[in-house]
């Protein structure tokens, strides 16, 4: 509601994607104590970065 009221309707979906990936990454590190081992942690991090870049590109296109 607040995002729409302030005129940020175009940012809602990209922000949801970003937050979902962020929560996924944080959840992986919290569940395993020291974090996921090897490539799985790296894969989550890479997805997080890729999605962050997608959001930046999408925002600049609006």
pLDDT along the chain (62 residues), means of 10: 81 84 73 54 76 67 56
pLDDT score recorded for residue 57: 62
Model pLDDT, residue 38: 54
Sequence-distant (≥ 6) Cβ neighbours of residue 59 within 8 angstroms:
10, 11, 14
> Taking a C-beta distance cutoff of 8 angstroms, is the pair 28, 40 a contact?
yes
**Residue 32 DSSP class:** T
* Residue 35, pLDDT score: 47
Domain ranges of the chain: 2-61
What does residue 20 show for φ and ψ, rounded to 5 degrees?
-60, -45
Which residues have C-beta within 8 Å of that of residue 26, sequence separation ≥ 6?
none
């Amino acid at each position: 509601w607040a995002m729409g009221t302030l005129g940020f309707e175009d940012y809602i979906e990209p922000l949801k994607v970003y937050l979902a990936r962020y929560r996924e990454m944080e959840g992986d590190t919290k569940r395993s104590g020291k974090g996921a081992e090897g490539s799985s942690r790296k894969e989550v991090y890479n997805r997080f970065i890729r999605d962050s870049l997608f959001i930046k590109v999408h925002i600049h296109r609006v």
